[in-house]
Structure 1
Amino acid sequence: MDAQKNVNGSGSVEKKVVVPLLVLATILAGMLSPMQSAVNGQVGKELGDGNASAVVSFGSGLVVMAIIILARKSTRQQFASIPSKMAARHLPWWNWIAGCCGAMVVFSEGASASVLGVATFQTTLISGMVISGLLCDRFGIGVPVKQPFNFARILGAILAVVATVLVVLPSWQAPKVVALAILPFLAGLLAGWQPAGNSAVANETGSMLVSITWNFIVGFSILGLALLVRVMMGAVQFHLPSAWWMYLGGPLGLLSIALMALLVRGLGLLLLGLASTAGQLIGSVLIDWLIPQLGAQVYLLTVLGALVALIGAGIAMIPSAKKKVTVDELETH
């Protein structure tokens, strides 16, 4: 009996030590998202075009994923099976184009992050994702069981809207800036069903790595085609970024996905979601504050809006705390 108590006691102590460390690691991992936004925003600023910036970001990520996929025979075979699986139509067609949502997020980074500031961009993006997640749960998009609206979920959605209003208030007299803030908000709304599509493709092909690669191919193809047409029409001139770090947007996104997939096993979805959201918002404010060269000013309302977005996300997640979630559902773009 004493031995059993010692075992249980040591396990409890170990959990008390490990969980805070995992939460801290998740907060740090969450900071990769605003870093990606900052990189893509600066690429968009240098190239003068959000579309071109998104092509660079997706292209760099696609190169990394191609290397990973080609390195193993099993993933090569799983990837080669995609055409036949699409032709079989076992999976609704919209699941195969979930990469469009990631394309919208990355496009909005290149088009607006450098103007809005990383903190404002991430807050409006997260707010859109909170509302999108609630709607997807309500209508059963990508979830096995529909979850009706309740007080907590409605409050979370309201706080998401309040957070968006707060972070754009300092720029209310600049209509162009306010209009740009709509881009990440819309991207967040679209991103709600992307994990469901990517998870479905992963189940169909038998590999999340293949699903992520396909996600990058779809996004890169759409963005690349749009850029090619615009270049041919003379609407834009494209050139590759001059600095090496400007190619890190795609790899940073991939690293974030990989770390979240590892950390969810020790934390579960609720803690992971809260910690990663906190990391995104804390990292956003720190980037704008510590790197004035980016040209973004951190206002008190910006910080307040970020806090409201975090609270809203936390409240909206509470009803889903008991839901069993797989690693596949964490992939965003």
Structure 2
Amino acid sequence: MMPQKSAERTVVVPLLFIATVLAGMLSPMQSAVNGQVGKELGDGNLSAVVSFASGLVVMTIIILSQGSTRKGFASIPHKITAHRIPWWNWVAGCCGAMVVFSEGATASVLGVATFQTTLISGMVISGLACDRLGIGVDSKQPFSIPRVLGAILAIVATVLVVLPNWQMPKVIALAVLPFLAGLLAGWQPAGNSAVARETGSMLVSITWNFLVGFCILASVLLVRFAMGQVTPGLPSDWWMYLGGPLGLLSIALMALLVRGLGLLLLGLASTAGQLIGSVLIDWLVPALGNQVYFVTILGAFVALVGAGIAMMPSAQKPL
């Protein structure tokens, strides 16, 4: 029986890895969609509200269809006041809001590959810091040479992908936005996981995440509208409303695939999918992305290597 199980795993794991790479490509697709919405509406804030609203509608329908999730969601106000988990777990949705806002504000200008690489680089560094501080993990991961090297490679990757625009300070400034979003996004999974444990449902946690992000973005938009800084509008094409659902589909697939791959392989495969997908979008659909340079591809590869190294468990000799 053991050889048979080993043979089955030899076949199944590569297939799951490929499936995760394909699922990871949903993230750059979401960035491309939200980037085009931001370009058409001329406002990243408005684009982010549209994306979060579409995702929130889908999640609301899902949780209302089940009695257990309705009950779990209704219990959130009481659980917040009970203070059983730190308050910041309940506002982790602001991280997703920052990511989606940066998509609408910068993805169409930077190109999907540059956007995804800078975002992932920020997440690698944030993940390293969160592991060191014990945020969202069972035990703290001390700094080690491989993990610090991974963070350094993430910074190198960011520099490489922005090199073609080095003479354009405005574009370089825009690249800072997804990098900062990546730094924030590092602790979002920890917050969502804590809310899921508290409410007894990941579906409730995801819906709450979308609600928090939507409220933050909508509040800022309303203030800006009152000040005359933004003109209301909606996307003209149906596919421009797919940003939120694409993000939800990616989350759902990752939750299913992690059972067969484990966190390390899942992280590597999904990161590879994000970077490969972003380069392909920029290359094959220039209307949704941007020009692909050799250093863009090199930067994406360096980011993948850096992410892979940073995901390794810390060695016995911490720094």
* 1:235 paired to 2:232: no
How far apart in 2 are the matches of 1:210 and 1:290?
Answer: 37
TM-score (norm 2): 0.97
Q: 1:143: how far off?
A: 1.5
Aligned residue number for residue 75 of structure 1: 69
**CA deviation after TM superposition for structure 1 residue 9, in Å:** 2.4
Counterpart AA for 1:107: F
Q: Is the 8 A contact 1:123 1:164 kept in 2?
A: yes
SS in 1 for 2:311: helix
Aligned to 1:122: 116
Question: Structure 1 length as normaliser, TM-score?
Answer: 0.93
**Displacement after TM superposition at 1:14 (Å):** 1.2
State the SS of the aligned residue for 2:139.
coil
Between the aligned partners of 1:191 and 1:314, the Cα distance in structure 2 is 18
Which AA in structure 2 matches 1:298?
A: V
Q: Distance in 2 between matches of 1:124 and 1:32?
A: 17
Deviation at 1:80, TM superposition (A): 0.4
Match of 2:82 among 88, 106, 110: 88
1:269 matched to 2:263: yes
| Match 1:103 to one of 91, 97, 100 | 97
Query: What is the root-mean-square deviation of aligned Cα atoms in Å?
Result: 1.0
- Mapping 1:9-158, distance limit 5 Å: 9-158=3-152
Check the 8 A contact 2:144/2:314 in 1, yes or no. Answer: no
Aligned position for 1:296: 290
- 1:257 paired residue among 251, 261, 265: 251
- CA distance in 2 between counterparts of 1:13 and 1:143 reads 32
For 1:320 and 1:57, how far apart are their aligned partners in 2? 37
The Cα shift of 1:88 comes to 1.1
Question: Which among 184, 189, 193 is matched to residue 183 of structure 2?
Answer: 189
> Which amino acid in 2 is paired with 1:216?
F
Match of 1:215 in 2: 209
Q: Paired residue for 1:308?
A: 302
Contact 2:16 2:260 in 1 (8 A): yes
Paired positions, count: 315
Residue 272 of structure 1 and its aligned partner are, at CA, apart by 0.6
Matched residue SS, 2:85: coil
C-alpha displacement of 1:10: 2.0
**Displacement after TM superposition at 1:70 (Å):** 0.3
Mind listing any 5+ residue stretches in structure 2 that lack a counterpart? Answer: none
- Alignment-mate amino acid for residue 185 of structure 1: F
**Structure 1 unaligned spans of 5+:** 1-6, 322-333
Using the alignment, how far apart are the partners of 1:276 and 1:147 within structure 2?
22
Asked whether the equivalents of residues 270 and 320 of structure 1 are also in contact (C-alpha less than 8 Å), the reply is no
Partner of 1:244: 238
- Rounded Cα–Cα distance in structure 1 between residues aligned with 2:288 and 2:29: 12
